[in-house]
Amino acid sequence: MRKTAIFYGSSSGTTEEIAGRIAGKLGVDSSNVYNVGEASVDDVASYDVLILGSSTWGVGDLQDDWEGFLPKLRKADLSGKAVAIFGTGDGSSFGDSFCDAIGTIYKELQGSGGRFCGAVSKDGYSFDDSTALVNGTFVGLPLDEVNEERETDGRIDRWIEQLKKECLD
């Protein structure tokens, strides 16, 4: 497997917990899992695969720690790196901005040289709209731990299998 790191931003602990679950399923050591509130953009340099995670707050807002980290990451040269994104959100209470943070990270990193992987079908999700949809497909893995928690493990497992084919080998 290519050298992989997970970078996440989490306010309530949900996205941090999901990052840990993904790391465990991939065999990514905890030393390669970074809270973006404490990470440096220099930390991304030694990795081939970047898995980026953020919760969505309010009406489509990026998690606070990403506000300082994402502009720096956008300026970094991600050429040759694979980038996969996951996010948490609430498809019922905030159905018109479900997991918008995924879309924000994706849009901000366009032109950075990274190759995106891990797009997910919108089928089976309950929500109204999301900026994470491009051509009718999520650009990363959306997870709804509030309303669809029972789906999370299966969604993560399928996504990891997809990543193994698309960007981890």
CA angle 74, 75, 78 (to 5 degrees): 75
DSSP string, 38-100: T--GGGGTT-SEEEEEEEEETTTEEPHHHHHHHHHHHHS--TT-EEEEEEE--TTTTGGGTTH
Q: Report CA torsion sign: 77, 64, 88, 110.
A: negative
Residues 109-141 pLDDT 10s: 999 999 999 999 999 999 999 999 999 999 999
- Domain-wise residue ranges, the chain: 4-168
CATH superfamily of 4-168: Flavodoxin domain (3.40.50.360)
Residues 41-100 pLDDT 10s: 999 999 999 999 999 998 889 999 999 999 999 999 999 999 999 999 998 888 889 999
Q: What is the pTM of this model?
A: 0.96
Of residues 6, 53, 50, the one with CA closest to residue 28: 6
